[in-house]
Amino acid sequence: MFGRLSVYKSSMTATGLARFVLVLGASLSWPASQAVTPGTASPRCPSEFGAEPRTPAEHRRRAEWVPYQRQLPLYEARLPGKPDRQLVMPVSGVRVRQVRDTFARPRGGGRLHEGQDIFAPRNTPVYSAAAGFVWRISETPLGGKWVFTVGAGGRRYYYAHLERFAAGLREGQRVTTSTLLGYVGTTGNARDTPAHLHFEVNEGSQARCDYRAIDPLPLLVDRPPKPSDR
């Protein structure tokens, strides 16, 4: 359980969605698998997509997200209702035990790290961790080149800092755990770091005020090697 919490701060995520981050509190702890940005931390959910944007850039990102948010129920209707219990390691050649846990670690600007950074050489293939659909493909200053997929139970999977996208990848495309999404890189705010994939798992929704980020590390299993890799 959370301890007593006194102050909340709202902000926009790297992809332009609203979030609420705990910034002050007497006693704060959470299990590794629990959200660090629950929408219920806010005393209210002021609009269909969460906290109101405050700058022209935030308004623009909000407008870009509106049609994608409204597509989610269409994808969810074509997928199983319960989220996958296991996710396949998205980065080729990396073992789960090699991932250093950085979930919920502090980041600049009062942010908390909402995913796991999976380091690998530049241009290492990145595959979908779960079956589903490509929800959005874009490029932003923080996330660089990124792909969002949606899977069973409406969970969204975010693959960021890609060097480039897989050839022919398109929004609305059905994916499996064998679908190539792109390649490890340093785009966005990762340009001064070693090449890595920022991998994030989101569930809930701004509309229900229960948006949250989930630690993907406990869900990950090693990717089986291809015959050519054995």
Cα–Cα distance, 191 to 122 (Å, whole number): 12
Task: Give the other-Cβ count within 10 Å of 75's Cβ.
Answer: 19
Mean pLDDT of the 136-144 span: 94
Separation of alpha carbons 160 and 140, rounded Å: 10
Residue type, 166: A
Overall average pLDDT of the 188-213 stretch = 87
CATH number at residue 109: 2.70.70.10
Residue 40's pLDDT is: 33
How far lies 57's CA from each of 10, 63, 161, 207, 211, in Å? Answer: 16, 10, 20, 21, 22
Higher pLDDT, 213 or 151: 151
- Tens digits of per-residue pLDDT, 66-115? 899 899 999 999 999 999 999 999 999 999 999 999 887 877 777 788 89
Instruction: Determine what percent of the chain is predicted with pLDDT higher than 90.
Output: 56
What is the C-alpha separation between 33 and 215, in angstroms, rounded?
5
The alpha carbon dihedral of 179, 181, 183, 186 has a sign of negative
Boundaries of domain holding 141: 5-229
Question: CA-CA distance, 150 to 73, in Å (whole number)?
Answer: 10
Rounded to whole angstroms, the Cα distance separating 152 from 101 reads 25
Q: Judging by DSSP bridges, how do beta strands 5-12 and 18-25 pair with one another? A: antiparallel
Task: Write the DSSP symbol of residue 115.
Answer: E
pTM of the predicted model as reported, rounded to 2 decimal places: 0.76
State how far the Cα of 75 lies from the Cα of 215, in Å rounded to an integer.
23
Beta bridge partners, 62, equal none
Is the predicted pLDDT of residue 207 greater than 90, yes or no?
no
Mean pLDDT of all residues in 11-24: 41
Q: How many distinct structural domains can be found in the chain?
A: 1
Structural contact between residues 129 and 177, judged by C-beta atoms closer than 8 angstroms: yes
Measured distance CA(178)–CA(188) in Å, rounded = 26
